Amino acid sequence: MWSYRNPVDVRFGPGSFARLADVIAGRRYALVTYGDTFFRGLASRLEKEAGAPVLVIDDIAPNPDIALLEVQTARFAGLVRPPEIIVALGGGSVIDSAKVFAAARGDFAAMDAYLKKRAGAETIAPWPLVAVPTTAGTGSEVTCWGTVWDNAGGVKFSLAHPGLYPEYSIVDPELMIGKPRDLTVQTGLDALSHSLESLWNRSANPVSMAHAIAAARGVLATLPLLVNDLRNVELRGRMARAATLAGFAFSNTKTAIAHSLSYPITLRHGVPHGIACSFSLPMIIRSVAREGGICLEGLQAIFDVEAQEAADQLETFLNGLGVATDYRHYGIDDAEWRDLIALAFDGERGQNFIGRKDALLAVAGGGGRKHMAVA
């Protein structure tokens, strides 16, 4: 028995930013975005079409940290006329921050208790959201969760609430053409990771699988072309489509072991999210070579070869984009690597993984490789 649900109304295509004012539909809105020139230009265009926002939060930093989110949330508390809708114009950090503001509605203490202890779930009634992603990566435009980082505490939290599915998502590839190469690679690999993570997942189902296959094939076919042709709108469109489809895939499964493994790597070693959650994918494919079901069906549809060869192909793909697949490259030594893998299985996301710890450790390196017995 399985089920699939995703309520987000998606408007996709080059130029679709022009439809943002229509979906705001005269409601009082707060705008969450970055502060640089390109985004200020988009904000003033929106203001002409939809009127002035009641509040602009434009000091969003990559990987939203809980301390800054608290300060930013307080700005909503002072508003005489609160927003009726939150517009998130930016990458995953903007959309996830907007989800925190929507859920908190100016009350960070309640938000904090919900985030850390799942307390007060019944009182969380988020403002509606419109997500306008400017990266092709996180899929946050079609999920009901967001990642909140606590750098001081060395942990990350996951905000999740069914009311946090955006009401609308406007996915306009033209907004993505200015993304530099590194960001394009990082975010594209995040999307690839979301699609594969939804396959080796306890909640995988035929709909999530169909989205995952289309998404992964899209990233594998497009990203190597796009990195040499960054301003190509057609290729940007294919990546944006793949990232949103990956979002549809993992919106019903959540992520799994690669993401669980990635969080301490980002926190301790400063590795960007999209790299931290993808350099381990070939290793994970090797470890699930014996799993059947949707995982096998999906991997075969994507790679069209046996799992071992698929892993080799993916390794070549990543290395070709300049992404190292050896953990030592990221400053992780053998002992830490094996600890991180063990830890990853205990994490909330790690428990979604269908694979086995011994199988992963057996292919992980760092002393765990199965050596041929010497006669």
Ligand X SMILES: NC(=O)c1ccc[n+]([C@@H]2O[C@H](COP(=O)([O-])OP(=O)(O)OC[C@H]3O[C@@H](n4cnc5c(N)ncnc54)[C@H](O)[C@@H]3O)[C@@H](O)[C@H]2O)c1
Asked if residue 172 binds Fe ion (CB under 5 A), the reply is: no
Q: Which does residue 366 touch among Fe ion, ligand X, none (CB within 5 to 8 A, set by kind)?
A: none
Kindly tell me which of 195 and 287 has the beta carbon lying closer to Fe ion: 195
Please name the residues in contact with 161: beta carbons below 8 A apart, sequence gap of 6 or more.
Answer: 103, 114, 121, 124, 126, 144, 145
Which of 93-101, 188-196, 198-206, 333-341 is the region at the interface with Fe ion (rule: CB under 5 A)? Answer: 188-196
For helices 293-303 and 206-226, give the axis angle rounded to 10 degrees. Answer: 30
Half-sphere exposure of 116 (CA within 13 A, CB side): 11
Size of the site for Fe ion (CB under 5 A): 2
Amino acid at 214: A
Instruction: Select from 90, 126, 347, 366 the one that contacts ligand X (CB under 6 A).
Output: 90
Residue of 259, 173, 260, 178 lying closest to 222 (CA atoms): 173
Q: Which does residue 94 touch among Fe ion, ligand X, none (CB within 5 to 8 A, set by kind)?
A: ligand X
Q: State how far the Cα of 134 lies from the Cα of 172, in Å rounded to an integer.
A: 8
Asked if residue 190 binds Fe ion (CB under 5 A), the reply is: yes
* Cβ neighbour number for residue 301 with a 10 Å cutoff: 16
Q: State how far the Cα of 88 lies from the Cα of 54, in Å rounded to an integer.
A: 14
Residue 124 DSSP code: -
CB of 59 to ligand X, least distance (A): 11
Kindly tell me which of 73 and 198 has the beta carbon lying closer to Fe ion: 198
Q: Residue 274 in contact with residue 193, Cβ under 8 Å?
A: yes
CB of 61 to ligand X, least distance (A): 8
Residue 214 DSSP code: H
Pattern 131-170, binding to Fe ion, x per CB under 5 A?
A: ----------------------------------------
CB of 176 to ligand X, least distance (A): 5
Asked if residue 96 binds Fe ion (CB under 5 A), the reply is: no
Residues 114-143 touching ligand X, rule: CB under 6 A, are 134-135, 137-140, 143
- The two structure tokens encoding residue 170: 């406007």
Asked if residue 237 binds ligand X (CB under 6 A), the reply is: no
Pattern 158-197, binding to ligand X, x per CB under 6 A?
A: -----------------xx-xx---x---x--x-------
Residues 290-329 touching Fe ion, rule: CB under 5 A, are none
For helices 307-320 and 206-226, give the axis angle rounded to 10 degrees. Answer: 40
Instruction: Select from 105, 241, 273, 286 the one that contacts ligand X (CB under 6 A).
Output: 273
What is the layout of strands, in order, in the sheet containing 29-33? 9-12, 168-171, 129-133, 85-90, 29-33, 55-57
Query: Token pair 């069914």 is at which residue?
Result: 162
Nearest residue to the partner Fe ion, using Cβ? 190
Residue 157 DSSP code: E
Query: Token pair 């907004």 is at which residue?
Result: 175
Kindly tell me which of 186 and 287 has the beta carbon lying closer to ligand X: 186
CB of 215 to Fe ion, least distance (A): 13
List residues binding Fe ion (CB under 5 A). Answer: 190, 277
List of residues contacting ligand X (CB under 6 A) = 34, 62-64, 90-94, 96, 134-135, 137-140, 143, 145-147, 175-176, 178-179, 183, 187, 190, 273-274
